[in-house]
Amino acid sequence: MGTQGRTWPARALALLAAALFWQASTVHAQESASVPPAIARTAGELAALLAEHCPLAPANDIAAFERCREALRGSDALRARLPQIVLWGRQSAEPQASLAASTLTQLSPDLWTQLYAPLFMFNGRYQVEWVAQENHYLVRLETAFRNRLPPGQYPTPFWHDAQKWRTYQHANGLLLWLQPQTGSVHVAQFTSRATTPPLQDVEIIARRFGGQWLWTDDGGRTQPAVAAFDGMYRPENPFLPKLERQYRDLALHLRDAQCTACHAPDNSQHMQRPVLLTTPAHAAGEIDRLIRAVREDRMPVDAHRRPVALSADAKAWLLESATIFGDTVRAARDWESPATTPSAAADAAASE
Residues in touch with ligand HEC (CB under 6 A): 257-259, 261-263, 269, 271, 275, 286, 289-290, 293-294, 298-303, 305
> Looking at beta carbons only, is 48 or 301 nearer to ligand HEC?
301
| Least distance CB 262 / ligand HEC (angstroms) | 3
Contact 50, 27 (CB under 8 A): no
From CA 225, how far away is CA 155, in angstroms rounded?
Answer: 8
| Least distance CB 104 / ligand HEC (angstroms) | 12
| Least distance CB 302 / ligand HEC (angstroms) | 6
| Least distance CB 44 / ligand HEC (angstroms) | 34
> Looking at beta carbons only, is 207 or 289 nearer to ligand HEC?
289
| Least distance CB 325 / ligand HEC (angstroms) | 12
Among the listed residues 107, 41, 43, 49, the one whose alpha carbon sits nearest the alpha carbon of residue 75: 49
> Looking at beta carbons only, is 14 or 261 nearer to ligand HEC?
261
> Looking at beta carbons only, is 210 or 307 nearer to ligand HEC?
307
Among the listed residues 90, 61, 87, the one whose alpha carbon sits nearest the alpha carbon of residue 162: 90
Between the alpha carbon of residue 319 and those of residues 141, 255, 276, 313, 326, the distances in Å are 42, 14, 18, 10, 10
> Looking at beta carbons only, is 125 or 315 nearer to ligand HEC?
315
Burial track 305-342 (b if 16+ CB lie within 10 A, e otherwise):
eeeeebeeeebebbbebbeebbebbebbbebbeeeeee
From CA 300, how far away is CA 262, in angstroms rounded?
Answer: 9
| Least distance CB 277 / ligand HEC (angstroms) | 6
> Looking at beta carbons only, is 227 or 254 nearer to ligand HEC?
254
From CA 53, how far away is CA 50, in angstroms rounded?
Answer: 5
